[in-house]
C-alpha cells in the first residue's frame, strides 16, 4: 500500500488562504512519506525471525505503518511539516 502523493501537488496560482492550505497539506504529505519510509526501514532491520511471519502479516504491517504515518504527519511533533512549510512559504508569497 502506498501513500497518495496527490496532496503534494501545489497550485500557487490560487493564492491567498487556499495556497497556504495547499502548502500545509503538501508539507504534511511529505512528512507522512518520510515517516512511512522510516517505519519501513525499521521493519526491515528488525532483530531475529518473526514467529508469526507470513506475506499476509507483512502486508498488514505495511498497511498499518502507512496509516500510522498518515495520521501522525503534522501531529507527531517532529516538525518536518513545519520546516517544509517555512522553507516554501517565501517562494509561495513571491509567486502569489
The tens-digit pLDDT sequence of the chain (96 residues) is 455 555 445 555 666 788 889 998 888 889 889 888 888 888 777 656 666 667 787 788 888 888 888 888 767 678 888 999 999 998 888 876
Contacts of 72 (CB under 8 A, 6+ apart): 32, 35
Residue 70 is placed in which grid cell?
498518515
pTM metric for this prediction: 0.69
In whole angstroms, give the CA distance from residue 34 to residue 29: 9
Closest CA to 9 of 37, 38, 29, 31: 29
Amino acid at each position: 500500500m502506498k501513500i497518495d502523493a496527490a496532496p503534494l501537488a501545489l497550485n500557487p496560482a490560487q493564492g491567498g488562504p487556499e495556497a497556504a492550505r495547499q502548502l500545509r497539506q503538501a508539507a504534511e504529505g511529505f512528512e507522512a512519506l518520510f515517516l512511512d519510509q522510516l517505519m519501513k526501514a525499521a521493519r526491515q532491520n528488525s532483530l531475529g525471525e518473526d514467529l508469526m511471519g507470513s506475506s499476509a502479516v507483512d502486508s498488514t504491517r505495511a498497511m498499518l505503518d502507512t496509516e500510522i504515518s498518515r495520521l501522525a504527519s503534522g501531529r507527531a511533533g517532529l516538525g518536518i511539516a513545519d520546516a517544509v512549510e517555512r522553507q516554501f512559504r517565501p517562494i509561495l508569497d513571491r509567486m502569489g
